[in-house]
Structure 1
Amino acid sequence: MKNRILTLLVLLCTTFGTYASKNKNLVDYVNPLIGSDSDFSLSNGNTYPAIALPWGMNFWTPQTGPMGDGWTYAYHTKKIRGFKQTHQPSPWINDYAAFSIFPETGDLKILGKDRAAWFSHKAEVSKPNYYRVYLADYDVTTEITPTERAAQFRFTFPKTDQAHILVDGFFKGSHVKIYPKERKVVGYCRNNSGGVPENFHNYFVIYFDKAFKSVGTWDSKKAKEPKANYAPNSKEAEGYHVGAVLTFETKAGEKIHARVASSFISLEQAERNLKQEVGNDSFDKTHAKATAAWNKELSKIQVEGGTKDQYRTFYTALYRTMLFPRKFYEINGKKEIVHYSPYNGKVEKGYMFTDNGFWDTFRAVFPFFTLMYPELDSHIMAGLVNTYKESGWLPEWASPGHRDCMIGSNSASLIADAYLKGIRGYDIETLYEAIIKNTKSKGPLNSVGRYGAEDYNKYGYVPYDSGVNENAARTLEYAYDDWCIYELSKALKKPQDQIDLFAKRADNYKNLFDASTGFMSGKNRDGSWSGARPDKWGDAFTEGSAWHYTWSVFHDPEGLATLYGGRDKMADKLDQVFTSAPTFDESYYGFQIHEITEMLIADMGQYAHGNQPIQHAIYLYNWLGQPWKAQYWTRNVMDKLYTPNADGLCGDEDNGQTSAWYVFSAMGFYPVAPGTGEYAMGSPLFKKITMTLENGNKFVIEAGNNSHKNVYIKNATLNGKQYTKTYLTHKQITKGGTLKLQMSEKANKKRGTKTSDFPYSYSNEK
């Protein structure tokens, strides 16, 4: 009997383990609510449920917070006040070009705080391709399905002669106009949080499939306690905050459909976007197209041999990597790719992408694109060319134009990594010109160009006493970016003196290593150290401390180990990240920022996975002759800090970076140093991963005997040959093949310990 039960369990596990690869509807695994249980004090992702197509120009989301609240949807709230078209990349950056649509019944309630309706997650379905929720106060069900620049709504009303649909143009300037005969509403919204020209507008058009019983408009002026001034029978309103009210008479269970699209160019283009993407399609047909679009992308990475929760976490993370940067371009009447420039305010030809902070996404998101989406990456590079031509600078943090946020000139990493991996189809010479310009000074904002460039170029570091904030973090990132420029300049056959200049600057990280403490530190012009505690957040560093930034020598771990006096000593210091008490000094900020809190509650010592600077550090064990520790810690982080629940992330998602870490790590490798063309190995989460690459090749990773306990690589073969290296190359993967791993509960402390098995380090190139 026991044997029969055991056989049945094995059969069930085997069947379930292969289910993910056989399930063609992978979008069903995606839970956009993961990460939405967040607020200012604690981020479990700082996400919202984005109803969108991959890299779509417009997203839609249920809105629980008021206009201007960066936490537009918070899982723990109880009421919905609108269904918002959103372009928000982060609550800290906030939104732009937002307007909302909202159904209600009975007495008219206009402002968000008044109309907000109770809802329950039990009566909510949230998927990238489809959203549904029941609004209890009004007995109305709302459904949404998206296209790239448009969407369809379906509202199911009860029997009433007071069924209303509100179009809310939002504050900071809006306009609505109703055309009753055409059953149409048009308008624009101008709300933004910065980074736009003076003529910025988002034009929208909405068509309904039922005649209006009556119409009206309203306006609300800027005030501490705003009030809605309703004008029945009015067909047009323009002002600080205006909207439209459309009233219907409905039967029980009657459905009203709305087709909506928008454009940053014109109302005419908004109409064109609607015709191109929705046309006469039914709601269900648009839904089917959205489903197919997501399944096409998600199926490019098939995973097998995991639990259902792991599939949900993985495919949701994969979904998050395919949202930003968003397409900020449209197709005009001549079938040309055009865009409204958020830099010069003109309509220009060519690609444009936005809503991205490269400080976050250079680490894993863009390397993911180079691997799985080289054509998209080529388009993004072409968009960078246009940004430079239209603004004079590369976009280090754009939303939709330049924003003063974060540090570094990490566009150099994106560009070099793409070009060195063979991605073409854009003007690399213009991008190289832009990169070199970045190295000479800061731009119109501190986040553009290089803040502190003059001192960095003079001293080999940005001095602590220079007046430039977060100087040590800037130095470390500039040094890595200089290495990227060095490699790119060689590939482009630039003059030798230019190559030599950046070769020298790539070593600048050494100038900040304090051998007496074993940490990177702020350094004054006279060579003296700042004296700050290594656990002081901010100050010389960015949203972290020396515990986190010391490892930011992506291109030269071997050189960093030399500073420590050897690999073993560096490994001991890296061990201390996980074993030291999570102490901190928050005096630079004046309060305990949420990133500190997220480190504290993780119970992983000084390791702060919820923020980006240290996310690669686990993989550095591959350079130190202790690859089994990378295998252990990557699995530990995946198991502990990622779940398929509303609190399932461990800090800011940041345009897909925290999810991209998981996607790579679950496949068993990670791009520690974009530009090298190498991926350091960890421990794959699944028994089998099949990557279908854009060139048609497949790369398969089979992890035999893989389990929750068997996290260590005992043995490896690549295409049938013994493989001892602790990294994979971009060429190996894109060529296609099979990596077979034998997993074990016991660490193999011999495999991958020879220096010939270590990944690239700049020091070994000299």
Structure 2
Amino acid sequence: MRKSVYWGLAIFYFCIASANAALSPESRPHRNPVDWVNPLMGTDSKYSLSNGNTYPAIALPWGMNFWTPQTGKMGNGWIYTYSADQIRGIKQTHQPSPWMNDYGQFSLMPVTGKLKFREDDRASWFNHKSEKATPYYYSVYLADYEVLTEVTPTERAAMFRFTFPETDSAFIVIDAMDKGSFVHIIDDRTVIGYSSKNSGGVPANFKNYFVISFDTPITFTATFDGEELHKGRVAMEGEHAGAVIGFRTDHKQVVSAKVASSFISIEQAWTNLRSEIGEDNFDGIKSTAYDRWNDVLGKFSVGSGNVDQVRTFYSCLYRSVLFPRKFYEYDKDGAVMHYSPYNGKVLPGYMFTDTGFWDTFRSLFPLLNLVYPEVAEHMQNGLVNAYQESGWLPEWASPGLRDIMIGNNSVSVVTDGYLKLGEKADYDIHTLYEAAEKVLNNPGPLTAVGRAGAEHYHQLGYIPSDSNLRGSVARTLEYAYNDFTMMQLAKLLNKPDEVIRHYRQRSLNYRNVFDKETNLVRGRKSDGTFDSPFDPFDWGGNTFTEGNAWHWTWSVFHDIEGLKQLMGGERDFLQQLDTIFNLSTRFGLGGRNNPIHEMREMQVVNMGQYAHGNQPIQHMIYLYGYTAEPWKGQYWVRETMDRLYHAGPDGYCGDEDNGQTSAWYVFSALGFYPVCPGTDQYVLGSPLFEEITIELPDEKVLRIDAPHNNADTRYVDEVCWNGQSYSKMYVTHQQLLEGGVLQFNVADKPNKERKPTVKDYPYSLSLE
């Protein structure tokens, strides 16, 4: 007894001493945050196996336009792959993922010697040793043409710098892509045009207009339509238009180009060019972009950690602040306006796009709400406009409504935003409440918009597996959670008790697809019988979406205590959690002829049925924090960070998915994670660094300390909050916003004597 008292006092005084230390980090990396970022992280991917499915996005945070080297052919969603050895152009892209593909794209490609304009003919060999990729600047030596090509971005514009050899045949090919395009060389320094190439989700009048202004007089002009070149012709409109301009250059002569685009008009593209570049030069734009990235990434300051960990952290943070992208522009008077990807009109106000809420509601939007609330507020304004212009909340926007994935997780994004941004946030929450009610109670114009199968769900309390909807169990679980977030929003807005009770009751519908015989969720027919035979390793089919029963059983974010009770109590719940990592890596095809890449990505990492490369199970490790054995979660969260992430081309273990998989790492490195967006709690895990600080609104600073933390000390002996021993397994949003010191005292062995009780567990609906 005396020994335990002595140990408790020792921990208490250690916490006090650490909390009294200055909040500023004692040691910081000797670089600025953006210097740690590797945009090539995740680019070593292919259709059959994703190590991220990313491309190097040369852009500003949340920028309207990204630029990237194009190694793939036109229309190939794998724009840039690390294993490629040829580049076809430097492309303006709006692609959120290879599966969604691109829209509104065009490219610039320098060529010397014999004129080559077709994409395969003009492709040049390159090597990563002569390539430099940063978020704010990209350069590559195009060996076939002896041209150093550089680009640096603004939000809606960019500057290029081409360093040519001495030649009388230096060319730049401007490819406006197929599916309808236009180019016009309007004078000896200027090219304008548009691209209407897209992959769906656009109105009939969609175009991306561009202007390109060169600092060197053009001495050769040509245009092309597909395969045919027309020398001397200055304008082309057709299925596949492009332009070729030429110069006479001296040795190492630099030709610069200012490029801007607009979804509104050519005139607006000129406005964007003047306002974002004006008379500035390449180095000035590059410096401004560098500073902007440091401002955004610099909200986090890592005071320890090895080089690989710091690089991975900031590379993941970089991916977390790219999407959703700004889809708005400023008129000549500085007023915010946008081309609507929903109705094709030019309207006032904010608009964002290129995000799938099925992925990003989980941790990406909670990260923005916590650290970047001003941008998150603009995104909520954009959702108001999206609803007013389309009649619905998007679930996957790129740039307009897309028919992919399941659930009504837009309601989670709305609720979590209002809960955390607060009443002072300047947007119309009442319109968003109206929108949420509509999508939760009505099927929409697309299967993925509104609530598909609403009549079944509202009548039976689940989506039956013998309906015509695939993913019946997955839909039921997501609908129940989405109803919970609606209940939370109704509470925040003081809606009538009967409305709150209605959504509360529906949020318990997850129980209707739980099979107590197997302690897993399972497909259920309209007559109430469970599907038989049942293989819990089987992916997809009529019951699951991108996963199997072992993955989806845990998607009861809002009522983990209720899930425990269904399983027979905490001991059985823990046993089922443990089982995930002890199972084989086998999978069933779910009626498919061949495996999908997510199956292989689970299989090859050898972590049982833990499929971190896909979203449904990414929160599961943190569910140990709802039990008396949190040390097991501490082990696995660090194991996942250490084993499945690094800042190299194969640095992810599956699709990065618009910041979600990256935001998981960012939160986990901090030592907590938002298991249930729509509540104000973050479940504690095991931090990665000895010290990290976060700049929060109102000049508040949160410091997270883990003294002597290293690769071997993944277990948490004790948590202190502002010097006081802290027993809860979560921290609240308001706690974090107030700033202070969150300290983890870590060890190389689990503290099995530290056994939280129900009063310390994170939120569950059944505990209300």
Provide the TM-score with structure 2 as the length reference: 0.96
Aligned to 1:12: none
Match of 1:81 among 84, 88, 91: 88
Displacement of 1:20 in angstroms is 7.5
- Cα distance in 1, alignment partners of residues 755 and 215 from structure 2: 65
Q: How many residues align?
A: 741
Matched, 1:154 2:154: no
- Cα distance in 1, alignment partners of residues 688 and 553 from structure 2: 28
Aligned to 2:18: none
Aligned to 1:648: 651
Q: Show CA shifts across 1:408-464 (max 9, x none).
A: 000110111111224321111111111111122221111101111111011111111
Displacement of 1:125 in angstroms is 0.3
Matched, 1:439 2:440: yes
Structure 1 residues 211-250: aligned runs within 5 Å: 211-220=217-226, 228-250=227-249
Q: Show CA shifts across 1:173-194 (max 9, x none).
A: 000000234x000000000000
Matched, 1:33 2:40: yes
Aligned to 1:186: 192
SS at match of 1:122: helix
Displacement of 1:676 in angstroms is 1.1
Q: Is the 8 A contact 1:356 1:397 kept in 2?
A: yes
Displacement of 1:19 in angstroms is 9.6
Displacement of 1:24 in angstroms is 5.1
Aligned to 1:469: 470
Displacement of 1:588 in angstroms is 2.6
Matched, 1:697 2:700: yes
Aligned to 1:258: 257
- Cα distance in 1, alignment partners of residues 33 and 432 from structure 2: 37
For residues 752 and 258 of structure 1, do their structure 2 counterparts lie closer, same or farther at Cα, with a shift above 3 Å needed? farther
- Cα distance in 2, alignment partners of residues 441 and 466 from structure 1: 17
Q: Is the 8 A contact 1:381 1:426 kept in 2?
A: yes
User: Residue type of the partner of 1:80?
Assistant: I
Moved over 6 A (4+): none
Q: Is the 8 A contact 1:726 1:752 kept in 2?
A: no
Match of 1:46 among 48, 53, 57: 53
Displacement of 1:750 in angstroms is 2.8
SS at match of 2:223: strand
- Cα distance in 2, alignment partners of residues 295 and 659 from structure 1: 18
Q: Show CA shifts across 1:710-729 (max 9, x none).
A: 11111221111111111111
Aligned to 2:278: 279
User: Residue type of the partner of 1:538?
Assistant: G
Matched, 1:202 2:208: yes
User: Residue type of the partner of 1:314?
Assistant: F
SS at match of 1:237: strand
- Cα distance in 2, alignment partners of residues 147 and 305 from structure 1: 32
Aligned to 1:320: 319
Matched, 1:59 2:60: no
Structure 1 residues 98-113: aligned runs within 5 Å: 98-113=105-120
Displacement of 1:376 in angstroms is 1.0
Query: Which deviates more, 465-474 or 41-50?
Result: 465-474
For residues 337 and 567 of structure 1, do their structure 2 counterparts lie closer, same or farther at Cα, with a shift above 3 Å needed? same
SS at match of 2:706: strand
Aligned to 2:566: 563
Q: Is the 8 A contact 2:223 2:233 kept in 1?
A: yes
Displacement of 1:626 in angstroms is 1.1
Aligned to 2:5: none
- Cα distance in 1, alignment partners of residues 622 and 139 from structure 2: 41
Instruction: State the percentage of identical aligned residues.
Output: 55
Q: Is the 8 A contact 2:377 2:421 kept in 1?
A: no
- Cα distance in 1, alignment partners of residues 225 and 114 from structure 2: 18
**Runs of 5+ unmatched residues, structure 2:** 1-24
Displacement of 1:22 in angstroms is 4.7
Q: Show CA shifts across 1:24-51 (max 9, x none).
A: 5211110010100001000000000000
Displacement of 1:753 in angstroms is 1.7
Q: Show CA shifts across 1:78-126 (max 9, x none).
A: 1000100000001000000000000010001111111100000011000
Displacement of 1:754 in angstroms is 1.6
Q: Is the 8 A contact 1:20 1:311 kept in 2?
A: no
Aligned to 2:390: 391
Q: Is the 8 A contact 2:29 2:304 kept in 1?
A: no
- Cα distance in 2, alignment partners of residues 530 and 142 from structure 1: 59
Aligned to 2:575: 572
- Cα distance in 2, alignment partners of residues 74 and 749 from structure 1: 46
For residues 416 and 739 of structure 1, do their structure 2 counterparts lie closer, same or farther at Cα, with a shift above 3 Å needed? same
- Cα distance in 1, alignment partners of residues 444 and 590 from structure 2: 29
- Cα distance in 1, alignment partners of residues 766 and 446 from structure 2: 34
Structure 1 residues 321-400: aligned runs within 5 Å: 321-400=320-399
- Cα distance in 1, alignment partners of residues 421 and 75 from structure 2: 42
- Cα distance in 2, alignment partners of residues 152 and 31 from structure 1: 21
Structure of higher RCO (CA pairs closer than 8 Å, 6+ residues apart): 2
Displacement of 1:696 in angstroms is 1.2
Matched, 1:637 2:640: yes
- Cα distance in 1, alignment partners of residues 563 and 325 from structure 2: 37
Q: Show CA shifts across 1:155-209 (max 9, x none).
A: 010000000001100000000000234x000000000000000000100000000
Matched, 1:683 2:686: yes
- Cα distance in 1, alignment partners of residues 380 and 522 from structure 2: 34
Match of 1:534 among 536, 542, 559: 536
SS at match of 1:586: coil
SS at match of 1:55: coil
Query: Which deviates more, 78-87 or 372-381?
Result: 372-381
Aligned to 1:455: 456
Aligned to 1:421: 420
User: Residue type of the partner of 1:313?
Assistant: T
Q: Show CA shifts across 1:660-716 (max 9, x none).
A: 000000111000000110000111000001000122100001001211011111122
Q: Is the 8 A contact 2:369 2:421 kept in 1?
A: no
- Cα distance in 1, alignment partners of residues 697 and 122 from structure 2: 47
For residues 666 and 600 of structure 1, do their structure 2 counterparts lie closer, same or farther at Cα, with a shift above 3 Å needed? same
- Cα distance in 2, alignment partners of residues 752 and 338 from structure 1: 54
- Cα distance in 1, alignment partners of residues 537 and 119 from structure 2: 43
Q: Show CA shifts across 1:50-70 (max 9, x none).
A: 000000000000000011100
Displacement of 1:315 in angstroms is 0.2
Query: Which deviates more, 458-467 or 358-367?
Result: 458-467
SS at match of 1:695: helix
For residues 339 and 280 of structure 1, do their structure 2 counterparts lie closer, same or farther at Cα, with a shift above 3 Å needed? same
Q: Is the 8 A contact 1:187 1:204 kept in 2?
A: yes
Q: Is the 8 A contact 2:546 2:598 kept in 1?
A: yes
SS at match of 1:67: coil
Q: Show CA shifts across 1:297-334 (max 9, x none).
A: 11101112211111110000000000000000000123
Q: Show CA shifts across 1:590-639 (max 9, x none).
A: 21000000000000000100000000000000112111111100000000
Q: Is the 8 A contact 1:752 1:758 kept in 2?
A: no
Aligned to 2:492: 491
User: Residue type of the partner of 2:440?
Assistant: T
Matched, 1:548 2:551: yes
Displacement of 1:272 in angstroms is 0.3
Displacement of 1:558 in angstroms is 0.5
Matched, 1:480 2:481: yes
User: Residue type of the partner of 2:413?
Assistant: L
